[in-house]
Every structure is written in C-alpha cells, then in structure tokens.
Amino acid sequence: MKKYSELLEYINTLEIIDTHEHLPVEAKRDAKADVLSELLTHYFSSDLLSAGMSDADMAEVRNASVDIVKRWEKVEPWWAFARNTGYGRAVEIAVRDIYGIKEINAKSILELNEKFIKAREEGGHYKRVLKDMSKILLAIRHTAPMEEEKDATDPFVYAFSIAPLFWINHQLSIRNWAEKVDKKVHTLADWLEVVEVILDKSFVSGGRMVAIKIGEAYTRSIYFPKVTYAEAETDFNEIYHTDHSADWRPPVYTGKAYQNYFVHFICRYADKRGLPIQVHTGIQEGNGNYICDSNPTHLTNLFLEYRNVKFDLFHMSYPYCMEAGNLAKNFRNVNIDMCWGHIISPEAARRALVEWLDAVPANKISAFGGDYCFVDGVYGHQYIARRNVAASLAVKVEDGSFDMDRAKEIAKMLFVENPVRIFDLESYLKK
C-alpha cells in the first residue's frame, strides 16, 4: 500500500497527454442539455440498457424538456444495478469532485442539475475540468475531414477520421466532397486525387491534425485484404452510377473491395507523410455488435506491409488485451493505447498493464485517453486511470521487477512521453 500511495502521489503531479476525445469545443456544447441528458449521452447509458432498461425509457430520460425528477425515477432502479461498473464509477467520481455531490439520488438530482447549469453558464468549464482538475496538457480530438475547429481555450489537436470518405454511398456524396476542394470526379483515380487534396489540406497546410483515425470496427471487420485497383474501381463505379437525379438519392453501400483498397491508400499516404494511424480495436460503444470484427490480429497484414507507419491500437483492444500485447511485442510499428480502457473494466486495465510490462517495451504504451462526448466524464476517467497505473506499477515494484525510481520513470513515459513521441506533439506543447 505504501508503494501504491507513493506512486499515486507522483502520478497525480503529472500533466498528461490525452490520446483520444470526442468532445465538442466548448463554444458548441449543447446549451439545452441538463445534467441527466448529458451524463447519459453514452457509455453509462449502455450499462443501464444492458441491465435491462428499455430503449423507450432511455429515449425519454435523455429528453431534457421533460421534468428531471420524473426522468430520474425511471433511471434510479437501473442506476442501482449498474453503478458498480467502470462507467458508473467515472460518473460518480466526476459528480463528487466537480459539483460536490456525494451521491446521485432523488434527493440530490435537482441540486446537481442547478450546479451543472450554473457551471456551463459561467463559462470556462473546459479549462477548469480539463486543465485545472485533470491536468491535461493536450488532447487529440476525433474530427471529420475539413472540420477542424480552433479554439484557443481548448487544449485540442486533431485526428482525421476517414469514415466520411470511406463510406461514400452515392454520386452526390462524391460530388459534394469534390466541390469542397474545387475538383471534379468521374473515375476512381479522380476520387483518390480529391482524397489526397483533402488530406494535404489537413496535414500539410498548417493545421493541427496529428493522426489518421480508422474506426470502421463498428460496421465491418477490420481485416482489410489487398485487392486490385480493378476490383476497387468496379465498386466505385457502382456507387457513382446510383444517383443521376437531385430528387433520387437512394443509400447504396459500397462493396468491400473499394473499402479495402481505400484503407491501403490511406496507409500509403500515412507512410509518405510520416503520420501515425489510430485504429479502433476491441469493444464497440453501445449495445449489440460483432466483437470479433474488432480483433486487432485482423490488422496483421497492414503491420507487415506498412512497416514505417506507427499504428496505435485503441481501447487496449479489450477483450483482446493479450492479442494487443503480442502484436506490440512482435511489431516495431505497433503501439497500445489505453484510451477508454480504464472505464471499460478498471480491473482488466490493471491486469493488462501488469502483463504488458513483462512482455512489451515500456515506450510502446500510452496510458490515457478520455474518449468522452461530455467533458465531466474525462475527469472521472483520468482519476481512475491514474490509480490504475499506480496500482499496476506497485505490483511490479512489489514483485521486484523494478525499483520505485524506474516505476516513476515508466509512469511518465505512459502518461506523457510516449504519446508525445508517437504523435509528434512536441511542437504543440511549446505553443
């Protein structure tokens, strides 16, 4: 316990890097949300549904126009069942430390909501939560192509999500993207030229983009085999010829050949520009999906072919944590990212880190990414993450794997130095 306390005390002094967020910039935060609708935006709502709450009740409790006390009455039975999870604990910690409410219940929900609304209306809430309380130096925010938002009060750089370009589904969507960069598209070659211009505008023209994001594990397997240009072109032509009228735009979903070719195109671009690629692996947010689609071993062919590209495996690949460790051990270009992981299962995160530190060089693991759509959750997550890393490192000190000085050195690597190096963030920290 003494070693854990010493490590936690040190880790709590660190100003850390946050490798992944979905937060809106503060100026675009939903001004109509109340505390219940915001806290149930995602994550903990999934556990309430898993516990048995109906979809209809969830839709109602997310509706901020309905009386919050009545909505809480629908939440409370399921809250009692699910508050034990990492998601539930992160919410409770955030509410306790940010708003001074020890327990969320029928007696406290009105007071909590008043404090929540007051904090939002006063402004500066992001600074208080992210910088002052969470000690986040810099956060990498997921964003769509050409939607980078600069706000000097928010500590964000950006990851370029390929999804809108990956999931083109009719001629109009292709044309709309082309018009953004003053291009015309008639062929797959034209389209790939448009994509490269969009990428260059993000990564070459002085923006704050630092990584490419592949998040397609929600909708298909992340195995992207090599296909021929002709196969991809056939798929692309099918998409292109599905929309000949402004009044008729049926959704047509591409065959896998185009998608597979496109991911290899993106990897080649990342290789040319020296960019890291973040990949969603492991559990998908929400309820009900094919977890096998997100096994990180599906990416092995990319690791083998694009040996100079740094791949960052998100979400500690839970429940494929050991597979992630094996890949990071075997491939110079594969790194493990614990973003989201500490609240998926705090115990799994602790155990995985203990084992990884036996198998994986310590410079290949990033300890924290909040991965939240609402800012208060980030505080609760980093609170758990710091304790998890302290606990795992204490185990390694106790078993004689390394001494306290080395444990502190590794802690700083995990929370700060590794993500700074992997995502080349040094220049942003000096600004």
Q: CA-CA distance, 277 to 139, in Å (whole number)?
A: 16
Burial zone of 228 (CB within 10 Å; 0-12 exposed, 13-18 middle, 19+ buried): exposed
Q: Which of 404, 422, 402 is nearest to 413 (CA)?
A: 422
The pLDDT of residue 127 is 94
CB atoms within 10 A of CB 132: 11
Burial of 351 (0-12, 13-18, 19+ CB in 10 A): middle
C-alpha to C-alpha distance for 423 and 19, rounded to whole angstroms: 9
Q: Given this model, what pLDDT does residue 431 score? A: 59
Rounded distance, CA 368 to CA 73, Å?
Answer: 34
Instruction: Answer yes or no: is pLDDT of 257 > 80.
Output: yes
Find out whether 183 and 168 touch, Cβ atoms under 8 Å: no
Can you give the pLDDT at residue 101?
Answer: 97
The predicted-structure confidence for 295-304, as pLDDT tens digits, reads as follows 999 999 999 9
Nearest to 127 by CA among 272, 23, 253: 23
pTM of the model: 0.95
pLDDT digits (tens, 9 = 90+) for 340-352: 999 999 999 999 9
Asked whether residue 84 carries a pLDDT value surpassing 70, the answer given is yes
- Model confidence at 315, in pLDDT bands (50, 70, 90)? very high
pLDDT tens per residue, range 217-237: 999 999 999 999 999 999 999
Q: Tell me the two tokens of residue 81.
A: 């069942």
Cis-peptide into 319, omega within 30 deg:
yes
- Cα separation, 57 vs 70, whole angstroms: 11
Query: Are the beta carbons of 430 and 32 closer than 8 angstroms?
Result: no
Residue 248 has pLDDT above 60, yes or no: no
Of the pLDDT bands very low, low, confident and very high (cuts 50, 70, 90), residue 25 is: confident
The pLDDT, as a whole number, for residue 145 is 80
C-beta of residue 403 within 8 angstroms of C-beta of residue 4: no
Contacts of 22 (CB under 8 A, 6+ apart): 141, 142, 371, 372, 373
Of the candidate ranges 161-170, 261-270, 316-325, 377-386, the one whose mean pLDDT is the lowest: 161-170
pLDDT higher than threshold 90 for residue 23: yes
Give buried/exposed letters for 152-178 (b at 16+ CB in 10 A, else e). eebbbbbbbbbeebbebbbbbbbeebb
pLDDT single digits (tens) 388-402: 999 999 999 999 999
Which pair of structure tokens corresponds to residue 425? 């963030």
Cα separation of 52 and 62, whole Å?
16
Rounded-to-integer distance, Cα 369 and Cα 339, Å: 4
Per-residue pLDDT tens over the stretch 130-184: 999 999 999 999 988 877 666 656 689 999 999 999 998 888 889 999 999 999 9
**Phi, psi torsion values for 413, nearest 5 degrees:** -60, -50
**Which of 282, 280, 265, 277 is CA-nearest to residue 311?**
277
